[in-house]
């Protein structure tokens, strides 16, 4: 199988790339500096020249707070880019994998969001990601639209995820304040990458939620990690309102992975197991 991979420096893209190569698949990987998905001409030239079996789009604008002011830039990458990819993929009868986010939901539920729940984003970042979903689902039939949440991975040159930040903070701080009123499902890139590659081999197109099983608050996640690393500092619970410069985020955005678990025959490992594997790899570097 030949894959065209965009956003190749990202943490999820790095694990998809690595796992696909282990399978013996051919991966043509592009960073945003080489392939700007918001540039229709570049997208058309890359896809028509390479002629991949599938395009996996990991390119994204992920700066939630900055998106409020840089919404045009966010929309170019998160909305127009997917439009360009979907348009050319449909013309060439090529399958497309596109990633979205739990931030398309408003967080007003108290049970995990299913693929049948209607999106209602609270911020401009979520709105641009929702636009990308709309573009893909309207412009091609050969798509895997995958929502993930609280993504964390070992690799990647472009993102510093929550766990990496937490580990850095723990080195030089003896007190940390972490919010208790943001709850979702952590998604370890190694597990997501494996599930995505397994899914595309089924040919079952559509909308999916892919996360590790279970959910937690940012505080609970941090508490779990800090205990594992025997941090000697003090962890304090906080509320989102304690950080006034932060953009509004959904309070509860855990994702229900049905029907993925039925198609693959299993759930992804728990967020605790996934985080423990991450920590073992992190400290072995």
- pLDDT digit string, tens, across residues 144-179: 999 999 999 999 876 679 999 999 999 999 999 999
Q: How far apart, in whole angstroms, are the C-alpha atoms of residue 55 and residue 139? A: 15
What digits encode the pLDDT tens for the residues 46-104? 999 999 999 999 999 999 999 999 999 999 999 999 999 999 999 999 999 999 999 99
Peptide bond into 259 cis (omega under 30): yes
Q: How far apart, in whole angstroms, are the C-alpha atoms of residue 101 and residue 82? A: 14
The predicted structure's pLDDT at residue 260 = 96
The kind and range of the H/E element at 100 are: strand 95-101
113: left (phi over 0), alpha (psi -120 to 50) or beta: beta
Residue with tokens 């894959």: 3
Active-site annotation holds for 125 = yes
What digits encode the pLDDT tens for the residues 4-51? 999 999 999 999 999 999 999 999 999 999 999 999 999 999 999 999
Question: Could you tell me the domains of the chain?
Answer: 2-159+186-213+254-269 (3.40.50.720)
Residue with tokens 């955005």: 253
Q: Mean pLDDT across the stretch 247-267?
A: 95
Indicate the pTM of the whole model.
Answer: 0.96
Strands 216-217 and 183-184: antiparallel
What digits encode the pLDDT tens for the residues 202-244? 999 999 999 999 999 999 999 999 999 999 999 999 999 998 8
Q: How far apart, in whole angstroms, are the C-alpha atoms of residue 193 and residue 145? A: 14
The predicted structure's pLDDT at residue 244 = 80
CB 149 within 8 A of CB 253: yes
**Residue 222, number of CB atoms within 10 A of its CB:** 25
The predicted structure's pLDDT at residue 159 = 64
The answer to whether residue 285 scores a pLDDT higher than 80 is no
Nearest to 139 by CA among 76, 87, 94, 190: 87
CB 95 within 8 A of CB 237: no
Q: Between 245 and 146, whose confidence is greater?
A: 146
Q: How far apart, in whole angstroms, are the C-alpha atoms of residue 120 and residue 109? A: 12
Both structure tokens of 75: 């929309």
Per annotation, catalytic residue among 125, 143, 144, 215: 125
The predicted structure's pLDDT at residue 35 = 98
């Amino acid at each position: 199988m030949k894959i065209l991979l965009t956003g190749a420096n990202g943490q999820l893209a790095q694990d998809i790339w690595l796992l696909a190569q282990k399978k013996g698949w051919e991966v043509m990987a592009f960073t945003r500096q080489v392939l700007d998905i918001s540039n229709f001409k570049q997208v058309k030239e890359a896809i028509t020249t390479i002629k991949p079996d599938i395009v996996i789009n990991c390119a994204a604008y992920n700066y939630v707070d900055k998106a409020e002011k840089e919404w045009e830039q966010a929309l170019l990458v998160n909305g127009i880019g997917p439009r360009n990819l979907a348009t050319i993929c449909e013309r060439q009868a090529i399958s497309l994998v596109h990633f979205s986010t739990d931030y398309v939901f408003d967080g007003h539920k108290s049970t995990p969001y299913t693929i049948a729940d209607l999106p209602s984003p609270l911020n401009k970042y979520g709105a641009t990601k929702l636009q990308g979903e709309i573009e893909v689902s309207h412009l091609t039939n050969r798509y895997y639209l995958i929502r993930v949440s609280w993504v964390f991975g070992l690799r990647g040159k472009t993102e510093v995820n929550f766990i990496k930040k937490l580990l850095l903070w723990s080195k030089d701080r003896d007190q940390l304040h972490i919010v208790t009123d943001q709850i979702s499902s952590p998604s370890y890139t190694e597990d997501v990458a494996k599930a995505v590659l397994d899914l595309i081999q089924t040919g079952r197109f559509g909308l999916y939620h892919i996360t590790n099983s279970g959910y937690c608050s940012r505080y609970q996640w941090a508490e779990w990690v800090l205990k594992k690393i025997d941090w000697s500092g003090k962890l304090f619970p906080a509320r989102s309102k304690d950080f006034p410069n932060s953009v509004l985020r959904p309070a509860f955005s855990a994702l229900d992975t049905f029907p993925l678990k039925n198609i693959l025959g299993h759930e992804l490992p728990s967020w605790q197991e996934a985080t423990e594997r991450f920590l073992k790899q992190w400290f072995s570097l």
